[in-house]
Chains A and B, each alone.
Chain A
Amino acid sequence: METILTISNLNKIFNKRVHAVKNVSFEIYKGNVYGILGPNGSGKSTTLGIVLNVVNKTSGDYKWFNGNLPTHDALKKVGAIIERPNFYPYMTAEENLKLVCKIKEIPYSKVNEKLDLVGLIDRKDSKFRTFSLGMKQRLAIASALLNDPEILILDEPTNGLDPQGIRQIRDLIKLIASQGTTILLASHLLDEVEKVCSHVVVLRYGEMLYHGSVDGMLSNEGFFELKSDNNTHLKETLLNHPSIDSIKEEEEDKLFVYLKDSLEANELNKYLFEKGIILQHLVKRKNSLEEQFLQLTNKN
């Protein structure tokens, strides 16, 4: 697979004190949709800032497209928006995009096409300062797509938007992903990442906790939700089973049973029935990305 970005042992220390990125390494391959997850202040934006040439790294290395191009030339093949849309407020949408074309050294031919894609073609002659936040964010996406980039980098693209705005941006991301563009999406909104990403990198306090596919992160043993007339007896019986790790009592008298080894629902049902327990409720569940993420980031 074609490598787009390689990050190796990247470190960033702000003001000699704040260690914002600690030894982060991962690779981005063509065609995948990546999510960078992490709570606020976990080093997501700093990591992106470094590879986008706006933050200086302290140590480590990164390479765009196998390091064949100097960073600023490589960035001409990248489309990126970080945190908030930055444009010249006194220029119109179209003028702003034309300026980006001049910087990226590409013809103006795509300007109208991309404005159309993000639904701003009717407002192309309006000044940027008259736009709502949602429109600004969509203009930023149009701008990032101007060069039909090899990779689209989005840092918190739905931050501060209203529900409609969030929906529009999310649909846009899905549309772009479906066209085969590689995407790197930094977010702390997990359902956002779960819905569009195939791979995730999880950061916390600048450290990388997980790097791999979303399915891989979710494919743990899962857990059961159980309920019977006598939960105390049920609990005692369950603890004798070799595959069971721990039990938590949660809302509505349900027991959450976490596993050590794989155990199918029918096997568990059979085991309990043989011990004389008849269940009212039996569901086998897998953690959602959110639960998985919280588990991962709450450890130690």
Chain B
Amino acid sequence: MKRLLKIEFQKLLKNRASKFLIISYFILLSFIALIASIKFEFGTFRLHIAEQGIFNFPYIWHFNTYIAGYFKLFLAIVIVSMMANEYTYGTLKQNLIDGMSKKEFILSKFLTVIVFALASSIFIFIMSLILGYSFSSYTEFGIVFSDLEYILGFFLKLVGFFSFCLFLGILVKRSAFALGFLLIWNIAEGIISALLRWKIFPDTNTYAKINQFFPLESMSNLIKEPFSRLSAIKNIETTITGEEAIRDYSIHFGEIAIVCVWTAIFIYLSYYILRKRDL
């Protein structure tokens, strides 16, 4: 396993573009901390984001993992191109000839995905801990380490998403087309869910029940938007609608299971394609 990771990281880190994207990704992640310094002043109205409670434990786990989720696209590019490059350079063929098995090849890519997801989760964990201790109103041990399932959710969301990217890289063999495919897939999921919602099952909740099984939807479902949870926004909403909306923000076992199943499907399909294809 160490050997496979060593091979993969040599391939990644000697590549200037990949290295640049990986470093940018972590730098951008740490920019979440800069949100703390956002301050508005309009005459008497003062808004200091850090004082709005977004860095309060345990809400910070939810908020940071949700925001960090947007940056995953950087690593997605790295992963798609790490796979597609093996085809364009012909090095996949050479790796196999040199004595790597097809299983080892997929495993080395999957391990890289795990390492990326793990590194991101640890990074976010440490950063949130630091931000939280600097700004949170509550720093009791029991509160700080509650709701940590968001970190787990973040990890699984990344593993699932990156596995999807890996699969697209193998399927399409060209980075640009694979990323295009990802975009089209995203749009297609949106269209299908809109059709389900407005045309096929109007006025019911059925669409959401089907929707949650789509790969990208299931991944974004793991960590739901955290903004409506903020007291300021909740107050505005309550004022407008006249009643308090009740939402469920927690991560459910079923949602985790769906993402895990998709991950398994994508990795197995990648292996299947590689085994069946003549290079």
Contacts and interface: CB of A to CB of B under 8 A. Distances in A.
Chains A and B form a bound pair: yes
Interface of A: 14, 49, 52-56, 70-76, 78, 80-82, 84, 86-91, 95, 98-100, 102-105, 143
Contacts of B278: 14, 49, 54-56
A87 B91 contact: yes
A70 B101 contact: yes
B10 A89 contact: no
Kindly list the 4 A-B residue pairs having the minimum CB-CB distance in the complex, ordered from nearest: A86-B90, A76-B99, A72-B101, A86-B94
B7 interface: yes
B98 to A, nearest CB: 5
Contacts of A103: 7, 95, 98-100
B206 interface: no
B104 interface: yes
A84 B99 contact: no
A50 to B, nearest CB: 9
- Report which residue of A74, A75, A76 has the largest number of chain B beta carbons within 10 angstroms of its beta carbon: A75
Contacts, number: 82
B279 interface: yes
Interface string B249-279: 0000000000000000000000000011011
A64 B177 CA distance: 38
B234 interface: no
B99 A75 contact: yes
B256 to A, nearest CB: 34
Contacts of A98: 10
A52 B97 contact: yes
A86 B98 CA distance: 11
Contacts of A49: 278-279
A98 B6 CA distance: 11
Nearest to A20: B278
Interface residues of B, number: 26
Contact of A82 (B3, B15, B93, B276): B93
A99 B6 CA distance: 9
Given A54-B93, A78-B99, 15 more contacts: A49-B278, A54-B278, A71-B101, A72-B104, A74-B99, A76-B99, A86-B93, A88-B15, A88-B91, A90-B14, A95-B10, A102-B6, A102-B7, A102-B10, A143-B98
Interface string B90-128: 110111111111101000000000000000000000000
Contact of A53 (B3, B7, B14, B97): B97
B97 A102 contact: no
Contacts of A90: 14-16
Nearest to A50: B278
Nearest to B98: A103
Contacts of B39: none
- Report which residue of B16, B89, B97 has the largest number of chain A beta carbons within 10 angstroms of its beta carbon: B97
B11 interface: yes
Contacts of A71: 101
Contacts of A88: 11, 14-15, 89, 91
